[in-house]
Structure 1
Amino acid sequence: MPGPRDGGDPGPPAELTLTTDVRIWKITKISSKSAPYQLRWVVAGKVRHATFATVALAESRRAELWAAMTKGQPFDVESGLPESELRAAAAKENTRPDPTWWDFSREYMAVRWRTAAAKTREGLADSLATVAIAMMGDGAKAPTPEEVRLAVRWAVVPAHQGEEPPPELVAPCTWLSHRSRPLSDLTDPKVLRDVQYRLSFKLDDTPAAGETYKRRRRGFNTAMEYAIESGYLDANPLASVKRSVSKSDDVVDPRVLVNAAQGTQLLTAVSYVGSIHRNRGRRLVAFFGCQLYAAMRPAEAVGLRQEDCYLPEKGWGTLTLRETRPVSGKKWTDSGHRHDRRGLKSREVKADRPVPIPPILVAMLRDHIKEFGTAKDGRLFANERGGVLGTSSYWRVWQEARLLALPPDKAMSLLARRPYDLRHTCITNWLNAGVPVAEVARRAGNSPEVIHRRYEGCIDGHEELNNAKITKAMGWGE
């Protein structure tokens, strides 16, 4: 319904010219289809008017002006409005916006969506959903933490704006849209402590992994930076909160590493997984070999193409890595497919990373191409239908291979529990072989600082060699 057309424009309340010389006339009807009812009043001899779509709206506005006049409130000569209305409008205009965490999360995600990778989107959604549990407010029939998490992860996807939530999320979405705490509550130490707890712990109240906490906190921190830029907050509330993190939180556990014999046994066992007709395991031997002998991330191996490979008949070859295919889920990717298509991790979009590979891996890849060929787009490793190799596919094969290759006590241990542990093994082998840390970092796609920090407990066998170098340098052996 159209609002009033006011003949006066309320300006700022500073230096108002006030008067009590006010007269208010009756409602009249004019020739207008959209707003045919006119209210006129006179302030210090100046005629003011406003038009309305219905007579009820016109009478309501007249009653407001009449009440102000009969109470002796002064009117502003310039705008023709009561001083109290101008003061209230100015106060409202100067009041800092304070959206709820629910509304802020959707706003922030919409801003970040266009430029963020699918995995980044999913990580941000997880951070916002985790904080939402602490910002959900109180009341009867409150949703469970798991319901809050699912509701926020659904709601922050921009494509869901204006859509009805799935039936199971209607209640939690409705609750959060009405009961979620305002952003300003983050300045309350009690609320902030609860936020910190949620970032640090899982839904079952067990401590979250160090990397999980860091990722959540990083996502929350970027959201707070946006809140400051938008004028919602003056300072980042996280600045006053710290978590004592163990130095070993992201250090590689030596117990996950395999020796040369175990690595060979595991790759052999992979070839025995599945029937001979489906070749479920055989088509992944070289895939796992890329991680064990070239320290490739699984997503990098999934994106490897034949054109990226230099595979001579003899000697070392080279893999020039250019693309990764991380799994993010359909709702997080622009393409609507489960796998995103990105450049190398922490690199410029078109950057590549040449990695020398030993003859054993060259032979594996040559055999793989000869037996299985490539996917239509040139990828070396595809699923049985030629599509993008999924995490669940190679994960199941790996778990079955561990049971075949390892004795029961080793199969129950941390040894090579994840395919990613093969990458850790390869990096450790390079370090123990004496390859300079900077070169290891370049081949692995990490920084030297990360290599030093994560693998400090995995380097061994160099004590006598280093002692000999020191002895020689100091001249003690002469």
Structure 2
Amino acid sequence: MDSLVREGPDQVAMSFGGKPTRTARHPLHAIKWTPPKTAGAVDPRTVVNPEQARALLAAVPGIGRTRGRRLHGMFACMYYAALRPEEAAGLRRQNCDLPEQGWGLLTVEKARPQANKRWTNSGETHDSRGLKHRAKDETRLVSVPPVLVTILREHIDRYGVAPDGRLFRTAKGRPFSSSAYSGVWQQARRVAFTAEQAASPLAARPYDLRHAAVSLWLNAGVPATEVAERAGHSVDVLLRVYAKCIEGQQARANGKISDALNE
């Protein structure tokens, strides 16, 4: 019986009646292909400034009957604390230090990403998991400004928390689906933005609030090590991903060098 006989990674042989006959190099090895590089870096066109971010957040509570109000604090966490959507969805009351005055502190320890029920341990669309790029039980601390402290305190006073302490959920106690909060976000963009802005990539996704937060911190001069810790990145990944969003650093660097030379 004729058959193919593999002789190694580069050569194959045909067997005719049990007698192998060597052939040329495998044709697949003559193909040269380099996987395309992924962009990785954040597109600066998606990053809102603080005034635009405030306008978007102010528009959210007016969307829908109660959905926008219930999601307002979740979106605020993405902007003021740079939480990923799944991290904001997993935020619990016991993770929040919310003083009556001054800055607060969030302990980010769980995420609730959305997935098909077949791929979650609980059989639900949202499964509680550890943080992205972190060890299973590792947490991170994020200091949050008074404006977010106030938003979260008001949210808890109005809606309470779920039995497990989660802050953000539907009126029936279920996690918000990505399609639900994305729909609210698109409506808020149409309210807060001009038609031209709404048609642009500017804050096209809720995730872009996180990008805006990290970009703001870097441009404000917060050390990259501190920004990376708060955002849950390594420093090298942080600077690579947000390199195009850092503005005015050349003039600032020149001034520091000049000061050092004149000492």
TM-score interval (norm. to shorter)? 0.7 to 0.9
Q: How does 1:34-45 map to 2 (within 5 A)?
A: none
CA RMSD of aligned residues (A): 1.9
Q: CA deviation at 1:244?
A: 4.4
**1:318 maps to what in 2?**
105
The 3-state SS of whatever aligns with 2:245 is coil
- Amino acid aligned to 2:181: Y
> Could you tell me how far apart the structure 1 residues matched to 2:251 and 2:191 are?
37
> Could you tell me how far apart the structure 2 residues matched to 1:280 and 1:381 are?
10
Contact 1:383 1:390 in 2 (8 A): no
> Could you tell me how far apart the structure 1 residues matched to 2:253 and 2:246 are?
12
**1:257 maps to what in 2?**
47
> Could you tell me how far apart the structure 2 residues matched to 1:345 and 1:441 are?
13
> Could you tell me how far apart the structure 2 residues matched to 1:415 and 1:433 are?
20
Q: How does 1:258-273 map to 2 (within 5 A)?
A: 258-273=48-63
> Could you tell me how far apart the structure 1 residues matched to 2:93 and 2:258 are?
49
Contact 1:376 1:386 in 2 (8 A): no
> Could you tell me how far apart the structure 1 residues matched to 2:155 and 2:121 are?
32
Q: Are residues 1:333 and 2:120 paired?
A: yes
Q: Of 333, 343, 348, which aligns to 2:135? A: 348
> Could you tell me how far apart the structure 2 residues matched to 1:377 and 1:269 are?
29
**1:406 maps to what in 2?**
193
CA separation of 1:189 and 1:320: change in aligned 2, threshold 3 A: farther
- 1:327-375 per-residue CA deviation (whole Å, 9 max, x = no partner) reads 1111111221111221111111111111000011101100110111111
- Amino acid aligned to 1:428: S
Q: How does 1:172-211 map to 2 (within 5 A)?
A: 189-190=27-28
Q: Of 163, 187, 212, which aligns to 1:425? A: 212
Q: CA deviation at 1:191?
A: 9.0
**1:308 maps to what in 2?**
95
- Amino acid aligned to 1:403: R
Q: Are residues 1:242 and 2:34 paired?
A: yes
Query: Quick one: higher RCO (CA 8 Å, sep 6+), 1 or 2?
Result: 2
Q: CA deviation at 1:389?
A: 2.0
> Could you tell me how far apart the structure 1 residues matched to 2:185 and 2:30 are?
42
CA separation of 1:393 and 1:191: change in aligned 2, threshold 3 A: farther
Q: CA deviation at 1:465?
A: 2.2
**2:222 maps to what in 1?**
435
CA separation of 1:406 and 1:191: change in aligned 2, threshold 3 A: farther
Q: Are residues 1:379 and 2:166 paired?
A: yes
Structure 1's consecutive aligned runs of 4 or more residues displaced over 4 angstroms after TM superposition are none
Long gaps (5+) in structure 1: 1-94, 97-186, 194-239
Q: Are residues 1:463 and 2:250 paired?
A: yes
Count matched residues. Answer: 241
> Could you tell me how far apart the structure 2 residues matched to 1:336 and 1:189 are?
45
- Amino acid aligned to 1:262: Q
- 1:388-435 per-residue CA deviation (whole Å, 9 max, x = no partner) reads 221111111101111111110000000000000000000000101111
Q: CA deviation at 1:462?
A: 3.0
Q: Of 22, 46, 67, which aligns to 1:280? A: 67
Q: How does 1:20-169 map to 2 (within 5 A)?
A: none
> Could you tell me how far apart the structure 1 residues matched to 2:117 and 2:40 are?
29
> Could you tell me how far apart the structure 1 residues matched to 2:256 and 2:29 are?
56
**Percent identity between the aligned chains?**
48
The 3-state SS of whatever aligns with 2:222 is coil
Long gaps (5+) in structure 2: 7-24
- Amino acid aligned to 2:163: K
Instruction: Please report the TM-score for the alignment, with normalisation by the length of structure 1.
Output: 0.49
Q: Are residues 1:397 and 2:179 paired?
A: no
**1:51 maps to what in 2?**
none
- 1:38-73 per-residue CA deviation (whole Å, 9 max, x = no partner) reads xxxxxxxxxxxxxxxxxxxxxxxxxxxxxxxxxxxx
Instruction: Please report the TM-score for the alignment, with normalisation by the length of structure 2.
Output: 0.87
**1:168 maps to what in 2?**
none
Contact 1:270 1:398 in 2 (8 A): yes
> Could you tell me how far apart the structure 2 residues matched to 1:442 and 1:241 are?
37
- Amino acid aligned to 2:216: N
Q: CA deviation at 1:189?
A: 4.8
> Could you tell me how far apart the structure 2 residues matched to 1:419 and 1:192 are?
45
> Could you tell me how far apart the structure 1 residues matched to 2:135 and 2:241 are?
24
Q: Are residues 1:292 and 2:84 paired?
A: no
> Could you tell me how far apart the structure 1 residues matched to 2:204 and 2:36 are?
28
Contact 1:266 1:405 in 2 (8 A): yes
